[in-house]
Chain A
Amino acid sequence: MTLLSVRAMTAGYGPVDVLRDVSLEVERGGVVAVLGSNGAGKTTLLRALSGLLPDCRGEITFDGTSLRGMRAERIARLGLVHVPEGRGTFPDLTVEENLAVGAYLNGDRSAARRETGRVYELFPVLKERRRQPAGLLSGGEQQMLALGRALAGGPRMLLLDEPSMGLAPLVVRQIFDALRAVVTEEGLTCLLVEQNASMALSMAGYAYILTVGAVTAQGPAADLADDETVRRAYLAL
């Protein structure tokens, strides 16, 4: 069953098209990776999906609902939650308050409490620092908080923008372990945009390769990881 489908999407900023004619599909419960180098349009793709780019053309459907022209806050309330690149937390709110803002996406309070408890289980450091302003957290903790805030809302699908960016390998492992836990235990659907291709391919079932705004290759993640051109271009092997 397809949860998210994108057909012939063209998007950009003002007169500049960054993405041209991009189509992709994400199965319910699946993890799909989008790989590409800097400037390939990965972030633009996610911004278009979450409604932050008002004039994008093409058809986007999420669980049968067309997202065309829908405002970002409405899309978030549908359960399609975007974890933006690099921080994206509320610096003067405490960790607890940041999670509470995310948890408001849950319909009821008991679900909000349950999901927030689950986030503290996944990232114990957030529980230790729950009364501190988010602005005082380290980069890795901020990334955990950004992901935690999305999870606290009980999302149906996550759009993850480079969760590994600028972080130490150990922290990257921690974040991906947590992600893998929610994906395997709860069957959460994810669209994962990454420069760290080996990490992304190890988690994803299917992957697309984006080159200067267009999809240039796609296939099961395992096949792409073995593909000679992909290995040379994105895995630096």
Chain B
Amino acid sequence: MQQLVQTLLDGVGSGMIYGSLALALVLIHQATRIPNFAQGEMAMLSTFVAWELIDRGLPWIAAVAITLALSMAGGYGLQRGLIRWVERSPHLTQVMVTLGVFMVINGVAGLVWGYLPKTLDGPVSSGSLRIAGVTTSWQVVGMVLVTVGMLLLLYLLFSRSRLGLQLRAAAQNPTSARLAGINVGRAYGIGWGLSAVVGAVAGVMVAPQTGLEPNFMFPILLYAFAGATVGGFSSPGGAVVGGVLVGLVEALTATYVGFIGTELSLTVALVTIVIVLLVRPDGLFGKKEVARV
């Protein structure tokens, strides 16, 4: 029993990370219909920026705040400088471009910071916490709080604010949005910027556990894609729930299915994607994509 609760808690903890990155993927997909394979590397780059700032003596909170601001600007710049040119291109072209961005960021990070793992400290003690006989860490508690808080903020932004309404309008009907005076290009840029910020938060949360090196986000990106597929690419809340479900499946199979263990846990993510696509291609919370022909 105790082991089960423990496993579930671990699953929720890592699931929150997957959910955050899945949320970043969904934000971009909602705004520009592009599956962004560079999302993990963008988050990795942000995390290295945070590490660099802390390494140069900035307090943690200031370093992260600057990192988030730079991520916003970077995501905006990437969309306005590069992605806009393939907005109307076929999906395959867009995928190739994001894969290209993936490789460029990965290579540059390796060149600048090297491939030896660095330690990034979290803001909370790495000590453990015992509640009713179950041991968990402050990190897990922090991740849950941060993800829930972030989701709440995004919800408020998109449902209550003028900017959020304009971003949704631009994503749903770009022509009508322009006719209503909305600068659609700027809206897409902001969508990418927000998504880069959400990814940066995920990167900073996960780095204390995994160590920081240029490839550290790659497995997490796979789980995030699994989470977004489970939740549905059209539902931001669903993406987070999907991420948590993937985290739970990963933790449970690793603990209870002997032959999977930790070696095959990435395979679990891919199998999850395939099963969901076969059974419910729009995800648990997604809406059917209807195309008029």
Contact = CB atoms under 8 A, between A and B. Distances in A.
Given A93-B165, A97-B165, A104 B180 contact: yes
B161 to A, nearest CB: 11
Contact of A93 (B172, B178, B182): B172
Q: Secondary structure of the B side of the interface?
A: helix
Contacts of A100: 162, 165
A206 B205 CA distance: 66
A90 B168 contact: yes
A81 interface: yes
A84 interface: yes
Interface in B162-198: 162, 165-166, 168-169, 172-173, 175-184
B180 A101 contact: yes
A102 B182 CA distance: 10
Contacts of A84: 175-176, 179
Contacts of B162: 100, 104
A93 to B, nearest CB: 6
Interface residues of A, number: 26
Interface residues of B, number: 17
Interface string A60-93: 0000000000011100110001111000111111
A33 to B, nearest CB: 21
A102 B173 CA distance: 13
A42 interface: no
Contacts of A51: 178
A88 B173 contact: yes
A105 interface: yes
Contact of A91 (B172, B175, B179, B181): B172
Given A89-B176, A104-B162, A77 B168 contact: no
A153 interface: yes
B180 A93 contact: no
Nearest to A146: B176
Given A52-B178, A104-B162, 16 more contacts: A71-B178, A72-B178, A73-B178, A73-B181, A77-B181, A88-B173, A88-B176, A90-B173, A90-B176, A92-B168, A93-B168, A100-B165, A101-B169, A101-B177, A105-B180, A153-B180
* Complex A-B, nearest 8 residue pairs according to Cβ-Cβ distance, in ascending order: A76-B181, A72-B178, A90-B172, A77-B181, A88-B176, A101-B169, A82-B179, A90-B169
Interface of A: 50-52, 71-73, 76-77, 81-84, 88-93, 97, 100-102, 104-105, 149, 153
